[in-house]
């Protein structure tokens, strides 16, 4: 049986930036506190939503360190340490482990990519050298790589590989993965709008973008699903569906940062090459937030 890291919502927290483009670590502390006090079950640092790809090495580690210190053991902190370089993935993973991260989130290698055998070798190389449990991250739309069910079946045999954030949108493949891995691999939805459906299939929760701006609402959805109230969970998810979908009308995390700024959380803009939301995108987000009574 896999070591479950959390049940419910893990927020893929944004990285706030000051007007000069530097990381706003005081705001990051505020955001972490906001998430915890509004009921999330975990914080995921330095993922896609956290703009990991434009954080310098020292910034990356300090973001993780700041979130761990602020959370002070109240919820698990999952550190994004994946890259397309196996040795650098190990370097980040060892550093996060030394800081006290509760789990490591490792995206599949991107751009250079690899084969399915290469994926196994990549993940096992790191898993053999750390003690912290690993959550795989499968997001083909970003990486060009897809972890196949048969590959999951090989990877979940490693005692340090305990879960996956699954964002390929393929429910048939998900069903096959569940059949092959059983309780050796926990599953988290990587898409907010798939949360209830995936939890109905056995997922433990979601690593969420939407919860950045409405952590209590996403927590309520997951709690209903965990209690087996899938009708109630579906109804609540449907109520916020337009907002969830509006988080992806431009490249993540452009829309979620815009939404957070609109509701007063003031997280700044994204780093280049991401570009601020257009007036059209801003208005669509504002309309969705107003409709869901989040403004």
CB-based contact 109:83 (threshold 8 Å): yes
* pLDDT of 271: 97
Which residues in 133-160 are b (16+ Cβ under 10 Å) and which e? Answer: bbbbbbbeebbebbbebebbbbbbebeb
The structural domains of the chain, ordered by start, are 8-226 (3.20.20.70)
> What gap in Å lies between CA 12 and CA 31, rounded to an integer?
11
Question: What is the residue whose two structure tokens read 């780093």?
Answer: 271
* pLDDT of 1: 77
* pLDDT of 130: 98
* pLDDT of 2: 75
Active-site positions read 137, 165
* pLDDT tens, position by position, 66-108: 999 999 999 999 999 999 999 999 999 999 999 999 999 999 9
Q: Which residues of the chain have pLDDT under 50?
A: none
* pLDDT of 177: 98
> What gap in Å lies between CA 154 and CA 37, rounded to an integer?
38
* pLDDT of 91: 98
> What gap in Å lies between CA 140 and CA 191, rounded to an integer?
13
* pLDDT of 236: 98
């Amino acid at each position: 049986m896999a070591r479950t890291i959390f049940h419910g919502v893990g927020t893929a927290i944004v990285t706030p930036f000051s007007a000069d483009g530097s990381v706003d670590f005081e705001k990051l502390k505020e955001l972490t506190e906001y998430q915890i006090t509004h009921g999330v079950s975990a914080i995921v640092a330095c993922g896609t939503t956290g703009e990991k790809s434009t954080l310098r090495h020292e910034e990356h580690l300090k973001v993780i360190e700041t979130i761990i210190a602020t959370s002070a053991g109240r919820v698990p902190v999952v550190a994004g340490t994946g890259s397309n370089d196996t040795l650098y993935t190990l370097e980040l993973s060892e550093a996060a482990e030394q800081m006290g991260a509760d789990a490591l989130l490792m995206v599949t290698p991107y751009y250079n990519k690899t084969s399915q055998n290469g994926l196994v070798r990549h993940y096992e190389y790191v898993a053999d050298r750390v003690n912290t449990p690993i959550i795989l991250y499968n997001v083909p739309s970003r990486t060009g790589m897809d972890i196949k069910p048969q590959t999951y079946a090989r990877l979940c045999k490693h005692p340090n590989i305990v879960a996956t954030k699954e964002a390929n949108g393929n429910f048939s493949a998900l069903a096959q993965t569940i059949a092959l891995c059983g309780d050796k691999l926990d599953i988290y939805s990587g898409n907010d709008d798939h949360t209830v459906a995936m939890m109905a299939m056995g997922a433990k929760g979601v690593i969420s973008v939407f919860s950045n701006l409405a952590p209590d609402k996403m927590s309520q959805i997951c709690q209903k699903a965990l209690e087996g109230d899938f009708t109630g969970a579906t109804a609540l998810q449907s109520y916020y569906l337009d907002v969830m979908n509006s988080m992806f009308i431009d490249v993540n995390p452009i829309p979620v940062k815009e939404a957070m700024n609109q509701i007063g959380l003031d997280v700044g803009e994204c780093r280049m090459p991401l570009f601020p939301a257009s007036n059209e995108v801003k208005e669509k987000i504002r309309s969705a937030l107003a409709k869901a009574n989040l403004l």
